[in-house]
With several copies, the nearest count.
Chain A
C-alpha cells in the first residue's frame, strides 16, 4: 500500500489529488459521463475538467444531471454530495442511460486483474458459498455500454491486483482478445489509476501495462505491489504532476474541505 513517505513532494499534493488531476485531463469537452457511489476522486476529476478545459462536459447517468456540489464527500450519490443540479432523474432514466451508454464511467474493485476485469462479489469459494462476500455492484452495464471506463482505486497491493479475479462483476478485457471479441464486447478500461501509477492496456494482448509512475514512486515499487506480471515498456514516464492552477482549482473550488488531502 502507498504510504506518504514514498512521495517525494508529499507536501505538494497527495496521491488522490494526482489521480483526480490525471483523470481530469483525459476528459474531453462535450462528453457525457458519470461516476457511481463512493467516488470522490472521479467526481473531483469531472468537476475539475469542467472548470479547466471542458465547460460542456455533462455529468449524468446516476439520477441527476450536472451537479454543483459545494464540497466533496466520500459518497457522491446522495443529496448531500449533490449540492444542486440541473435536473433530477430516476432509476427509469438510469435504465436508459445504462443501455445507451456514456462516453466514460469509473470503476473500482476488491480485485482487479491483468485484463482489467473487476470483482466486487466474492473472494475465495464460490458465489453461492464464498469465503469472503463483497458488496456486489449496483450497475454492471456501464462497463459494457460506455465508450470507455477508468479503473480508479485508492489501494494498489498484490491482494487487489491479482492475475485473475475470482468473479467477474464488471468485465474488462476478459481473458484477452479472443474471449473479449467472442463475448461481443466493444469497449473496455482505458486507464487504471492508482496512488502509485497509471496503467494502460497493450493493444495486442489487452493486458495491463505500466504507463507512468507518480513522482517519488519507482517502477520496482509498482511491480512489487502488483500481483501479476505487469507489462513494463522500455520507457516509463513520470506522471505529469498537477500544475499550480490545477491544484488551486481543486483545493479552492472542488474540494475546499480537503477530502483528497487526508
Chain B
C-alpha cells in the first residue's frame, strides 16, 4: 500500500534556510543545537544563523559543545548560554572564554542532567524531571533551571529540573527522506531525538536525502520520526568542520586554525580582532551557498581526505 501520493514534502533548498530561520526564531529566543562536541553539529545551518544577523540568542545544546557555539559568540549572536561544557577538547573555546570574562554574555551554570532532564521533561510533556544525583557541587548552587522537591513516596529531598522547550532546534544527521524521517548512521545520536521531541520547530540538515521506500524498509533505524521534524535540507558536508560519521571525519586542522585566530583575538594580539572577523567574513558571510563554503575550506581535495579518514576507522 503506497500512500505518499499528494503528500507535502518537508524538503527545503539551501536558499530557503534563511527565511525558515527568520520565520521561526526571533532575537533573544532559545536556540538548540544538536550533535556533540566535534561531531554531528549542524554548522551550515549555524552559519546561516550568523548571516541572518540573529542577535541576543539563548543557546542550548546537548551537554558537550564547542566550535559552533564559539563561532556564534565571535559573530555576536549570543546573549546567554545554557551549556554544561564548552570546549574544543584539546583546548578551550577562545571566544566563549573571552565573552564570559568580559561579561558580554551570561554563561549559566548548568550540567548534563539539568539539560538532558529538561529536554526529557519537555519531550514527555511534563513540567519537570526529578534528579537525585546532585550533591556537593557548586554547580547546583548557581543552576537557574532547578528547584528542590520532596519525593511523595520516600520523603527524600531531591531536585526538579525544569522542562526546556527551545523555540528552534537545528540538527544534523546522515540521511532523511523528504517527509522528514531522519536516520543517523553515526553510532552516536547524542541528544538529537530528545531535542527534536522538545523543540517547537525542528530543522535538520542531512548529508543525503534518500527515497521514502528506503526509510520504510528499515523503520527501526529511523532515529527521529517525521512527526517531530518541520523541514529537512540536504547539505553535503553540512556538519563541516565537525564530523558526520561514517561519511566524513572531523577537520581538526580547520578547527585548530580557527581556534588560533580566535585565541589571538582573545589575547588582544595586534590585528587579532581583524583576523577573527576576516575568518567570519571569508567562511561565513561571503559563502552564501555550500559550494563556495567548501571551496573556502579546501574544496574537494580536503573533503576527500575527511571522507577517507572516516572510511578508515
Direct contact of A and B (CB under 8 A): yes
Contacts from A to B (Cβ < 8 Å): 32, 37-38, 47, 50-51, 55-56, 58, 60, 63-66, 68-70, 74-75, 77-80, 82-96, 98-101, 120-121, 127-141, 143-145, 167-171, 174, 180, 183-185, 253-254
Q: Can you list 7 A-B pairs with a CB-CB distance of less than 8 A?
A: A55-B8, A80-B39, A92-B193, A128-B106, A133-B107, A135-B86, A140-B112
Q: Given the complex, which residues of B lie within 8 Å of A96, measured CB to CB?
A: 123-125, 197
**Chain A: interface secondary structure?**
loop
Contact status B120-A171, CB under 8 Å:
no
Closest 9 CB pairs of A and B: A99-B125, A171-B136, A79-B245, A87-B222, A87-B225, A135-B87, A55-B6, A141-B133, A139-B112
Q: State whether A79 and B313 are in contact (beta carbons under 8 Å apart), knowing that A37-B64, A98-B113, A139-B63 are contacts in the complex.
A: yes
Q: Select one of A38, A89, A137, A170 contacting B225, CB under 8 A.
A: A89
Q: Can you name the residue of chain B whose Cβ is closest to the Cβ of A51?
A: B3
Contact status B83-A90, CB under 8 Å:
no
Contact status A79-B188, CB under 8 Å:
yes
**Complex formed: what's the CA distance from A111 to B113 in Å?**
23
**Complex formed: what's the CA distance from A58 to B229 in Å?**
12
Contact status B222-A37, CB under 8 Å:
no
Contacts from B to A (Cβ < 8 Å): 1-8, 36-39, 62-64, 83-87, 89-90, 92-93, 96-97, 100-101, 103, 106-107, 109, 111-113, 116-117, 119-120, 123-126, 131-139, 142, 177, 179, 181, 186-191, 193-194, 197, 212, 215-217, 219-220, 222, 224-227, 243, 245-246, 249-250, 309-310, 313
> Known pairs A56-B8, A95-B117, A140-B112. 7 more at Cβ < 8 A?
A64-B188, A65-B181, A68-B1, A75-B89, A86-B181, A92-B116, A169-B137
Contact status B64-A77, CB under 8 Å:
yes
Q: Given the complex, which residues of B lie within 8 Å of A133, measured CB to CB?
A: 96-97, 100-101, 107
**Complex formed: what's the CA distance from A130 to B89 in Å?**
21
Q: Given the complex, which residues of B lie within 8 Å of A138, measured CB to CB?
A: 63-64, 84-85, 111-112
Contact status A79-B187, CB under 8 Å:
yes
**Complex formed: what's the CA distance from A50 to B2 in Å?**
10
Contact status A37-B37, CB under 8 Å:
yes
**Complex formed: what's the CA distance from A75 to B106 in Å?**
27
Q: Can you name the residue of chain A whose Cβ is closest to the Cβ of B223?
A: A87
Q: Can you name the residue of chain B whose Cβ is closest to the Cβ of A256?
A: B1
Contact status B137-A129, CB under 8 Å:
no
Contact status A98-B112, CB under 8 Å:
yes
Q: Can you name the residue of chain A whose Cβ is closest to the Cβ of B188?
A: A63
Q: Given the complex, which residues of A lie within 8 Å of B103, measured CB to CB?
A: 129
**Complex formed: what's the CA distance from A229 to B215 in Å?**
51
Q: Select one of B8, B116, B133, B313 contacting A80, CB under 8 A.
A: B313
